[in-house]
Amino acid sequence: MASLRRIGRRMRQFGPLALAAAVYAAMLDGRYASLEELTLWSSLLLASLALVASILWVALIQRRLREDESPVLAELEVGALLVVGAFAVVDPYGRAANPLYPLLYLLLAFLNTSASARVTVGLTLLAIVVDASLFLVRPAPEEGWPHLAARAFFLSAFAFLPKIALAIESSTLRILGKQELRRRERARREDARRLRLSSAGARGDDPLSDEQALWSFAAVAELEEAVSNTLEVAALALRTRAVSVFLMEPDDEEGLWLFASRPRDERNLRRRFEAKEGLLGAAAKRREPFRLCGDIRGIAWYEGKEPIRSVLIVPLRDERTPEPNGKGKFRGLLVADRLEALPFEEAEEELLLACSREILRAVESEWVMNQIRKDRERAEGIYRAIEKFNRSTKIEEVLDTAVQEVRAILAESEKDLVAVTTVEQGEGGRRTHKVERILGPRGLEKIQGRTFPEGSCLVSQAVKHRATLPTRPPPRSVRIFGEDTVLRGVSSLKVAPLKMGNEVLGTLVFGSEKRRHLQSVDVQTLELLASQVAQSLQRARFYAQTQALADKDGLTGLANRRVLEERLEHMLNLAARSGRPVSVIVADIDHFKTINDTYGHLTGDEILRKVATILRKGARSTDVVARYGGEEFVLVLADTDMEGGKVTAERIRQEVERTVIATSLGPLRCTMSMGIASFPHVPREELLERADQALYHAKRMGRNCTFTVEEMERPAAPRAIGEPT
């Protein structure tokens, strides 16, 4: 039994391919070249191939229906049987003008429609090989190589064209699907903005975070469902053609937009129109319920002409926000219409008014939930900003954090203006302002870094009066940063001073192109953030001053020994990587103890400061000048070899020698001795020590001179420049 099972497995494994090979060999032998010469054995062989191919094909389809992954070999096996069988079927009719040959093209197209790329390539190559072998083994006088090439081309084209077409169709569907999703998302964003349910109340193209988008979309969907249910009840109770809700645009009280309508299959309602149009314009102006019946004109809420014969319109009023007349703020209209000339009764008007109140309750509940969420997000944003301010120790960090956090908390769009300015007291008490950071519409970045004097611009006035300005909506063109900087299109604007005790450090500016964007809570938030910015800015300035004191010598203002060692290590690391030299000059004031004893320590301090000034002027901005201790100084010269160090040292020495210092005992001159060592001529760990040795060599050689390590090491060193005789 085991041997029989093994034989069965072998036959299942190799039988179909052996059968295809047998039919292929018979074709090459000409067994299917003519119907008259077709033998019984050849017919049975071809019939067996068709039967096996059918069985394997059914098995392959069943596997696909079970959503099992079909093996590539199984697909190739079925395809090979069908391709070889098809060639055998069309073989009796020749090849050059065979009317059945297009069946091969169709077969390849059919087989490769759902096959993998590897199967497509395999079956195409098989068809081309079979056709070419028949052409070579059994050449026909009427066909040549062009015929073979043409058939190979069409076999390949029909094999791959379905795949290409499917790929194009799939890609097109994906693109259309993405476009539809984006369109729906934009519509959702716009609905959320109009309903004031979006934290980023900007237009549909403005970015929302994932959390904000999900919340806004869910809120709109929840509100739509609640309003639609109410409209469904009203439509059934009033027997109307449609009941629709039109809301006022939040940023434009001259516009109405369709929020919801029932029944759902009404597609010819206009999405948006001016509030002054037709009956709805009259209703928006009147803001009272009214009914019409008969021949009605001014039906502006439909796209085309609709035979509306009866209309009932009631206002949507927000009782939480009363108008000067004591009635609730007008939010929109609820419209019911009929095709029949059946007038609406007073009871039906009361029903629609009740529906309007229910709709407003649904909207208001979402507003309340949205406001709670906004308050929570605002509080979290303020806490986050305070944490960042507390961690900021540098002035640059404070300024960057200020504009970033104000934008995150208050801005609705990247077009909103956020800026930080600072102020400095100049001569005569005149203030000078500087735009430290600015974010907003394109083109404003050129203002960053600009300074402007005190004047009548908003920043100057906010600093002068120590108050948040302006107190009323700004004009369309406003001067914020200096008299010559005019910004247009800023409809909402606040400039909050950065107050620190009795001092004003600058301003925090926020502006938006949207009207009524800054509510009282927004102004309070801006002032709170301005207070935090002022504290952090003052703290960062103190930190910078403390850091400067810790890095500098208190008497001369030069770098101290700790900074010298850190900078020297850094410069030597760079030099080791780049292969460029670094020179060190160790300088000492000659006979400084005698000067102190003779003229006093105050004069000695003045000499130290004067020498420090000369050293600083004689060095480059990339060099390090430090007081090493007492009357000893060190210069570290980047990208300078020993010869260059010698030149610099001599220039400084001569300048010190020429300098006259006035003292109580008369004019005083002093001199310096200097030693120079260079890396890599001297190992980095010995650089300071060898330069110091060169300095003391200069002292021994008579002072007021400079020596390099190289000169010091010569057996008979020549007298240095400036050395006294």
pLDDT exceeds cutoff 90 at 633 = yes
For range 516-534, the mean pLDDT: 84
In this structure, are residues 595 and 603 in contact, taking their beta carbons and an 8 Å threshold?
A: yes
pLDDT exceeds cutoff 80 at 237 = yes
What's the pLDDT tens digit per position in 41-93?
877 877 877 887 787 777 777 776 666 655 777 777 777 777 777 777 777 66
Percent of the chain at pLDDT > 90 equals 24
Q: Nearest-5° angle of CA 19, CA 115, CA 47?
A: 25
* Closest-CA residue to 656 (of 628, 629, 616, 699): 616
Q: SS3 string of 443-512? A: CHHHHCCCEEECCCCHHHHHHHHCCCECCCCCCCEEECCCCCCEEECCCEEEEEEEEECCEEEEEEEEEE
pLDDT exceeds cutoff 50 at 722 = no
pLDDT exceeds cutoff 90 at 614 = yes
Can you tell me the distance from the alpha carbon of 714 to that of 720, in angstroms, rounded to the nearest whole number?
A: 13
Indicate the pairing of strand 290-293 with strand 477-479: unpaired
Q: What is the pLDDT of residue 188?
A: 66
C-alpha distances in angstroms, 445 versus 206, 233, 435, 452, 508?
A: 21, 56, 10, 16, 16
In this structure, are residues 500 and 522 in contact, taking their beta carbons and an 8 Å threshold?
A: no
In this structure, are residues 330 and 323 in contact, taking their beta carbons and an 8 Å threshold?
A: yes
Where does residue 239 rank: exposed (0-12), middle (13-18), buried (19+ CB within 10 A)? exposed
- To which residue do tokens 């434009």 refer? 252
Helices 601-618 and 592-599: crossing angle in degrees, nearest 10, is 140
Q: What is the pLDDT of residue 204?
A: 43
User: b/e string for 258-269 if b means 16 or more Cβ within 10 A?
Assistant: bbbbbeeeeeee
Domain 552-713: give its CATH code. 3.30.70.270
Does residue 686 sit in helix, strand or coil? helix
Which tokens hold the place of 585?
């000059």
Does residue 662 sit in helix, strand or coil? strand
Q: What is the strand order of the sheet 632-638 is part of?
A: 624-629, 632-638, 582-589, 672-679, 706-708
What's the pLDDT tens digit per position in 16-26?
777 777 777 87
Peptide bond preceding 263: is omega within 30 degrees of 0, i.e. cis? yes
Query: 46-60, 307-321, 616-630: which range is least confident on average?
Result: 46-60
45-53: long-range contacts, CB 8 A cutoff, minimum separation 24? 45/19, 46/85, 46/88, 46/89, 48/19, 49/19, 49/20, 49/23, 49/81, 49/84, 49/85, 49/88, 50/85, 52/15, 52/16, 52/19, 52/81, 53/16, 53/78, 53/81, 53/82, 53/85
Can you tell me the distance from the alpha carbon of 404 to that of 419, in angstroms, rounded to the nearest whole number?
A: 10
- To which residue do tokens 């007349």 refer? 325
For range 235-249, the mean pLDDT: 87
Where in 556-660 does DSSP place strands (E)?
582-589, 624-629, 632-638
In this structure, are residues 315 and 360 in contact, taking their beta carbons and an 8 Å threshold?
A: no
Does residue 341 sit in helix, strand or coil? coil
Q: SS3 string of 67-100? A: CCCCCHHHHHHHHHHHHHHHHHHHHHHCCCCCCC
What integer best gives the mean pLDDT of the chain? Answer: 81
Q: What is the pLDDT of residue 3?
A: 58
- To which residue do tokens 């209309």 refer? 311
Ordered by start, the domain boundaries in the chain are 2-168, 210-371, 392-549, 552-713
Show Cβ contacts of residue 587 under 8 Å, excluding neighbours closer than 6 positions.
Answer: 615, 632, 633, 634, 635, 649, 652, 653, 672, 673, 674, 695
Task: With cut-offs at 50, 70 and 90, classify the pLDDT of residue 195.
Answer: low
Name residue 437's beta-bridge partners.
Answer: 420
Fold of 210-371: Beta-Lactamase (3.30.450)
C-alpha distances in angstroms, 242 versus 296, 359, 362?
A: 16, 16, 20
The dihedral region occupied by 67, where left means phi > 0, alpha psi between -120 and 50, and beta the remainder, is: left
In this structure, are residues 391 and 262 in contact, taking their beta carbons and an 8 Å threshold?
A: no
Indicate the pairing of strand 672-679 with strand 706-708: parallel
* Closest-CA residue to 644 (of 691, 615, 678): 678
Q: Which residue has the higher pLDDT, 614 or 441?
A: 614
Which helix (DSSP H) or strand (DSSP E) does residue 432 occupy?
strand 431-439
User: b/e string for 54-66 if b means 16 or more Cβ within 10 A?
Assistant: eebeeebeeeeee
Can you tell me the distance from the alpha carbon of 321 to that of 203, in angstroms, rounded to the nearest whole number?
A: 25
Peptide bond preceding 470: is omega within 30 degrees of 0, i.e. cis? yes
The dihedral region occupied by 30, where left means phi > 0, alpha psi between -120 and 50, and beta the remainder, is: left
Q: What is the pLDDT of residue 165?
A: 79
CA torsion angle 249 250 254 258 (round to 10): 10
Peptide bond preceding 680: is omega within 30 degrees of 0, i.e. cis? yes
- DSSP type of residue 342: -
Check: pTM over 0.85? Answer yes or no.
no
- Tell me the CA end-to-end span of the chain in Å, nearest whole number: 122
**Could you tell me the sign of the dihedral formed by the alpha carbons of 304, 309, 312, 315, in that order?**
positive
CA atoms within 13 Å, Cβ hemisphere of 21: 5
Can you tell me the distance from the alpha carbon of 120 to that of 628, in angstroms, rounded to the nearest whole number?
A: 81
Q: In the CATH scheme, what architecture does the domain 392-549 have? A: 2-Layer Sandwich (3.30)
DSSP letters, 291-326, are EEESS-----SBSS-----EEEEEEEEEEEEE-TTS
What's the pLDDT tens digit per position in 538-594?
988 888 777 777 778 888 889 988 889 999 999 999 999 888 999 999 999 999 999
DSSP letters, 132-147, are HHHHHHS--TT--HHH
Can you tell me the distance from the alpha carbon of 143 to that of 411, in angstroms, rounded to the nearest whole number?
A: 77
Most trustworthy range by pLDDT among 145-154, 306-315, 547-556: 306-315
Q: What is the pLDDT of residue 166?
A: 77
- DSSP type of residue 685: G
In this structure, are residues 507 and 436 in contact, taking their beta carbons and an 8 Å threshold?
A: no
What's the pLDDT tens digit per position in 535-546?
999 988 888 777
Q: Which residue has the higher pLDDT, 725 or 374?
A: 374
Tally of CB atoms within 10 A around 184: 11
Q: What is the pLDDT of residue 266?
A: 53
CA atoms within 13 Å, Cβ hemisphere of 101: 17
What's the pLDDT tens digit per position in 465-514?
899 988 777 777 778 888 777 777 777 889 999 998 888 999 999 988 77
Q: What is the strand order of the sheet 328-338 is part of?
A: 272-274, 252-262, 242-249, 328-338, 310-322, 290-293
* Fold agreement between 392-549 and 552-713: no
pLDDT exceeds cutoff 70 at 340 = yes
CA torsion angle 515 534 431 440 (round to 10): -40
Which tokens hold the place of 408?
């995150």
Query: 45-59, 156-170, 184-198, 629-643: which range is least confident on average?
Result: 184-198
Q: Which residue has the higher pLDDT, 12 or 333?
A: 333
